[in-house]
Chains A and B, each alone.
Chain A
Amino acid sequence: MSLQRNKNDIPVYILMVAPVLLFYIIIVAGPILFSLGLGFTNYDFKPNQKAEFVWFDQYEKMFADSKFWTGLKNNLFIVAVSLFGQIPFGLVMAYLLYRKRVNFANFFQAMVFLPQVISTVVVGILWRNFFGIRGAATGLMRLLTDNPKFVFKWFLSPHTAMIPVGIALLWVYTGYFMLVFLANLQKFDPGIIEAAQIDGATETQIFRKIIVPALAGVIVINSILAISGSLKGFDLIFVLAPNDGQGIANANLVLPTYMYHYAFRANKYAFGSAISTTIVFISVAFIGIASFVGKRLNPMRED
């Protein structure tokens, strides 16, 4: 780079960068470090409370809590839905759109993406009203089974309580992954596919032997995004999972809602901080595994 320096460069640079940097440090970076530290204390900001450094006591308490494990299990379920649901569906549909086997591709694309721009709160309330015991699913089943007493109770059993959450997540994010894959497929040289077709390859073979390996890198990046998204999602499940009256308490707990209940309902801020630090560590670990596995599997790796 050979851009010349101007004599007033330094003050202008500071003027341009300082606002952003200050904002970021005060509202994002600072709180994260603070939260990390707070998790090692017992300080809950009560008046007259003395702050003590308690090392890993909060973490021990957390690991001994069965609700933590419920939350973790549910989070893993969500990770599985996105890795084995959203991503493969999105990929197959992107491929079908790419191969121009469908007219009105733009229309389908626009429709399938629509849930992505709607507030997750709206999505949550919508699906809660659908799957709740007084919701539309109950009405539908009454019509279909001709039984006016039928009650739809997925939310009432700990075994099925997470299914509506999985459906809502598929509904929102499949279109998103489809678009990301489509954007990458459009960079792909169609000559290779034509050559394979001349050699007699079937559509399935082209998809498995050419497209999937070529997109391996993108699939890995998206899996990482899906994993970190699945671990940090709060809004949708907080709103969707009926935590009063309609469902069994805790059946829908995930780690972020677990954190919320302790920090903001019980005002145990130190314990809440320990939970949120744990969430960050779990996502970092998952992302590490995903990128390691991805590098191993990627036949086109360059580095």
Chain B
Amino acid sequence: MSLSGIKKKSIKAFVGKISTYALFLSYTILTIYPLFWLAYSSLKTNHAIQKNAFSLPEIPQFINYIEAWEIGRLGLSFFNSMIYTVTSVVFVLLSAMMASYAFAKMPFKRVSKYIYIFIGFGILISTHSVIIPLFIMLLKMGLTNTRLGIILTYTAVSLPLAIFLGTEYIKGLPDSLIESAFIDGAGNIRMFLSIILPMTVPVMVTIGIMTGLASWNEFLLGFIISGPATRGLPPALVAFANPRTPNFHLQFAGLMISILPIVVTYSIFNRRITRGVVAGAIKG
């Protein structure tokens, strides 16, 4: 190859590299800028937002957060969301890991297979195909507008994916381990508590994150089932951010209140979260 040929090639590679970077950089900016815009707009006055939507805040209005917290009663919803997230994570982990162990390592393989497939369908189901009967049932049981109703629902809808992830993980643990523990005289329950659970910490973290995110962000079920005193943040934000009364500064502060815990969690666990969400998708 002639010298000019090499030069031409390296110029081409350089241009390719530059345009690739330009693509990624502009995509990243497009992704991040709306969130950044939300963050700094939440510190502006309503007047300033309406006058110039893109200017930076002159004096940061931290009072927006206090007002959103109190006027929008977002404090109460934040507290509710915390309760729903924590309890559904605990319930899902407890019940899903028990079932996963039973499906993966206990006898009755045939029964397990049928139940496992039956529950697996739940991964494909969307909440709006259960919401009408569920609402009527909870209404008749007096569980609408109660925290218990929400906790039970959020736990149930997160179970199928959790059981799938848990069962596949435990299937991968060696049988010999369990056999030797049985020979040493351990019963099923002791085996589960002292051998299986400690070995499944990684998948439990994944399940916990997936369930926590789902419960923190869930909207439709909460919107239908809960009332002003029992709703979590997403339905509360929708009620608060009514387009007829555009108090943008408070809306934005409210949105930030709901995003911040997620962004903090994401910056700590981002590898695990991405892996968990992707694992949830590749179930085939």
Residues of A within 8 A of B (CB): 1-6, 8-9, 12-13, 15-17, 19-21, 23-24, 26-32, 34-35, 38, 45, 93, 96-97, 101-102, 108-122, 125-130, 132, 134-136, 138-140, 143, 171, 175-176, 179-180, 183-184, 203, 221-222, 225, 228, 232, 234-235, 238-239, 242, 244-246, 256, 259-260, 263-264, 269, 272-273, 276-277, 279-280
How long is the Cα–Cα vector from A87 to B69 in the complex, in angstroms?
39
- How many angstroms from the CA of A89 to the CA of B23 in the assembled complex? 11
B10 interface hit (Cβ, 8 Å): no
Centre residue among A115, A125, A127, A175 by max chain B CB count within 10 A? A125
Q: Check A134 against B244 for contact (C-beta < 8 Å).
A: no
CB <8 Å contact, A96 and B20: yes
Asked whether A136 and B54 contact (CB < 8 A) given A3-B105, A27-B153, A114-B31, the answer is yes
How far is the CB of A167 from the nearest CB of chain B, in Å?
A: 10
Closest CB-CB distance, B35 to chain A, in whole Å?
Answer: 7
* Contact A121 to B122, CB < 8 A, known contacts A20-B95, A183-B282, A242-B243: no
Q: Take A120-B219, A175-B31 as given contacts and tell me if A276 and B259 are in contact as well, using a CB distance cutoff of 8 Å.
A: no
Asked if A16 contacts B128 (CB within 8 A), the reply is no
Q: Least Cβ distance of A216 to chain B in Å?
A: 14
Contact with A along B197-236 (1 / 0, CB 8 A): 0000000000000000100110110001000000001110
Of chain A, the residue at the smallest CB distance from B275 is A183
CB pair A221–B282 under 8 Å, yes or no, is yes
Q: In the docked arrangement, what's the CA distance between A134 and B246, Å?
A: 9
| Closest residue of B by beta carbon distance from A99 | B20
Report A-chain residues with C-beta under 8 Å of the C-beta of B96: 20
Q: Are B128 and A269 in contact (CB under 8 A)?
A: no
A113 touches which of B35, B189, B251, B274 (Cβ 8 Å): B274
Among A4, A102, A242, contact of B21 (Cβ-Cβ < 8 Å): A102
Q: Could you tell me which B residues sit within 8 Å of A by CB distance?
A: 16-17, 20-21, 23-24, 27-28, 30-32, 34-35, 37-38, 50, 52-54, 95-96, 98-99, 101-103, 105-109, 112, 115, 118-119, 121-122, 124-137, 152-153, 155-157, 159-160, 163, 175, 178-179, 182, 187-189, 192, 213, 216-217, 219-220, 224, 233-235, 237-238, 241, 243-244, 246, 248, 251-252, 255, 258-259, 262-263, 266, 270, 273-274, 277-278, 281-282, 284
Chain A CB within 10 A, most for which of B50, B178, B220: B220
Contact B220 A28 (CB under 8 A): no
Closest residue of chain A to B248, judged by CB? A129
Show 14 A/B contacts (Cβ-Cβ < 8 Å), sorted by A.
Answer: A4-B179, A12-B188, A16-B101, A17-B112, A19-B95, A20-B95, A21-B115, A102-B24, A129-B251, A139-B53, A171-B31, A234-B219, A256-B126, A272-B132
